[in-house]
Amino acid sequence: MQTVRLADIAAVLADPSRATMCLALIDGRAWTVGELGRAAGIAPSTASEHVGVLTDAGFVNTLKQGRHRYVRIDDPRVAELIERLAEHAEHQPATGLRSSVRARRLALARTCYDHLAGALGVAIRTGLINTGLVDTASGLALTDTGHRTLRDLGIDLPDTGHRRPLLRDCLDWTERREHLSGAVPAALLDHAVDRGWLDRDQHRAIRINDTATEPFARLGVDLTTLHPTAP
């Protein structure tokens, strides 16, 4: 029954350690079992058991490479589910300075699985559309100018036969507007981190460096005017 299956899925995330692991994994990267254990504050053997539960539920996939077993979320739908559940948790008022600072950082710029979210993510969507790099006449599509601009920035674009949509709207829970998900935004995030325009911080927050000013301006984003809607 569908009700039983829903209860089973909810039970997977009901355990605090597994919930912590999933929150770590929605940054889009592969983590070792040991790293997930440290993030959750549990022993490696216990972490391995929890990874087994997550794997059986279809939440994660594992890959053996050398001495390490890597864990990652491969299905964007799983990441979106965890992101939505995290949204409800983040709706609770921040208590204390550290919590409020973290909330502001997440609202400004953060990862949503493998793409950018927060005020920065929304600004990128707006900038790409306003500068004619993305067309919305019949869905979301990169224009010829958009292809050239991204390639000029050194971003490797997936081909049109890619199994994942190139561009897709994703409702941003802090901005209450859409940011972009899909293969193109994922490639943009990877490239921006590789080039040092952005840095990954703790708890999925993204730090914006001065070197990001010029490339993001070419995407229609003025970083000096970037302010989160949510505190």
The full set of domain ranges for the chain reads 2-74, 93-225
CATH, domain range 2-74: 1.10.10.10
The answer to whether 33 touches 71, Cβ cutoff 8 Å, is: yes
* Percent above pLDDT 70 for the chain: 88
Q: What is the mean pLDDT of residues 54-73?
A: 87
Q: Which residues, 6 or more positions from 145, have their beta carbon under 8 angstroms from its beta carbon? A: 131, 132, 133
Summarised one tens digit per residue, pLDDT across range 77-122 is: 888 788 777 766 654 444 443 445 667 888 899 998 889 999 999 9
Nearest by Cα to 128 from 35, 23, 19, 215: 215
Torsions phi, psi for 220 (to 5 deg): 85, 20
Residue 162 pLDDT:
61
Residue 178 pLDDT:
92
